[in-house]
Structure 1
Amino acid sequence: MRVTQSMLYRQTLATLNERQGNIMRAQDQIASGTRLNQAKDDPVAMSRVMRNDDMLTTLKRHDANIASLSSRLSFVEAELGSVSDLMHRARELMISGANATQSAESRSTLALEMRALGEDLLRIANGQDGQGRYLFAGQDDATTPFVEAAGVNYQGATSARQIAVDQSATMANGLTGDAVFLNGPAGDLFAMFDELADTLEMPTPDAASTAQRNADMDAGLTRVDDALNHVLDLRTGLGVDLQRLDTAAERISALQISVQTDSSGLRDTDVAQTLSQLAQELTALEAAQKTFTRIQSLSLFNYL
Structure 2
Amino acid sequence: MTTGRITESMLERSALGDLQRAVRRVADAQRRVSSGRDLVRPSDDPLRTARALAARNELALVRELRDNVRDASTWQDVADKALGNISDYLQRARELIVQGANDAVGQRGRDAIARELDEIIAAIKQEANASYAGRYVFAGTATQTRPYDPNGADTYAGDAGVIERAIGPGVRITVNVVRGGALLGQGQAANDGLILDTLRDAADQLRTGTPAALNALRTTTLQAVDRNLDELGRARAEVGATTQRLESADARLAELELSVGTLRSEAEDADMAKAITDLIAQQTAYQAALRAGANVLQTSLLDFLR
Q: What is the TM-score normalised by the length of structure 2?
A: 0.76
Task: Verify the 8 A CA contact 2:126 2:148 in the aligned structure 1.
Answer: no
Taking the TM superposition and a 5 Å limit, the aligned residue runs for 1:221-260 are 221-260=222-261
C-alpha spacing 1:104/1:277, structure 2 compared with 1 (3 Å): closer
Does residue 79 in structure 1 map to residue 85 in structure 2? no
How far did residue 34 of structure 1 move?
A: 1.5
The yes-or-no answer on 1:116 pairing with 2:119 is: yes
2:108 corresponds to which of 105, 108, 116 = 105
Name the counterpart of 1:34.
37
Determine the C-alpha separation between the residues in 2 that align with 1:119 and 1:149. 6
Name the structure 2 match of 1:64: 67
| Counterpart amino acid of residue 111 in structure 1 | A
Q: Offset of 1:238 from its aligned partner?
A: 0.7
* Cα gap change, 1:124 to 1:30, in 2 (>3 Å): closer
Once residues 90 and 282 of structure 1 are traced to their aligned partners in structure 2, the CA distance between those partners, rounded to angstroms, is: 82
Residues 152, 266 of structure 1: CA spacing in aligned structure 2 closer, same or farther, 3 A cutoff?
A: same
Query: Residues 146-225 of structure 1: matches in 2 within 5 Å?
Result: 146-147=148-149, 151-174=153-176, 175-182=178-185, 187-204=193-210, 209=211, 213-225=214-226
Aligned equivalents of 1:111, 1:98: Cα separation in 2: 11
1:89 counterpart (88, 92, 107) = 92
8 Å Cα contact 2:122-2:150 kept in structure 1: no
Structure 2: tracts of 5 or more residues without a match: 6-13, 187-191, 293-306
Structure 1 length-normalised TM: 0.76
- Structure 2 distance, partners of 1:172, 1:273, is 50
Quote how far apart the aligned CAs of 1:281 are.
Answer: 8.0
User: Do the aligned residues in 2 keep the contact of 1:84 with 1:228 (CA within 8 Å)?
Assistant: yes
Does structure 1 retain, via aligned residues, the 8 Å contact 2:26–2:283?
yes
The letter for the 2-side match of 1:103 is G
Partner Cα separation in structure 1 for residue 174 and residue 166 of structure 2: 9
Q: What's the offset of the Cα at 1:226?
A: 0.6
What RMSD, in angstroms, separates the aligned Cα atoms of the two structures?
A: 3.6
Q: Could you tell me how far 1:244 is from its partner in structure 2?
A: 1.8
Deviation of residue 90 (structure 1)? 1.1
CA distance in 2, matches of 1:77, 1:269: 47
Contact 1:199 1:217 (8 Å CA) reproduced: no
The 1:148/1:265 distance shift into structure 2, 3 A limit, reads: closer
Q: CA deviation at 1:166?
A: 2.0
Counterpart Cα distance in 2 of 1:138 and 1:239: 18
Residues 64-73 or 36-45, more deviating:
64-73
The answer to whether the 8 A contact 2:82-2:130 is kept is: no
Shift of 1:22: 6.5
**Matched residues, percent identical?**
27
Aligned length: 276
8 Å CA contact retained: 1:181, 1:187: no
Contact 1:29 1:35 in 2 (8 A): yes
- Give per-residue Cα distances to partners, 1:209-265, cap 9 Å, x unaligned: 36x633541222111111111011111111111122222222222222221121112
Q: How far apart, CA to CA, are the structure 1 residues paired with 2:279 and 2:76? A: 57
Q: CA deviation at 1:98?
A: 2.6
Q: Structure 1 residues 136, 31: closer, same or farther in 2, change over 3 A?
A: closer
Residues 5/269 of structure 1: CA separation in 2 closer, same or farther (3 Å cut): farther
Once residues 224 and 161 of structure 1 are traced to their aligned partners in structure 2, the CA distance between those partners, rounded to angstroms, is 29
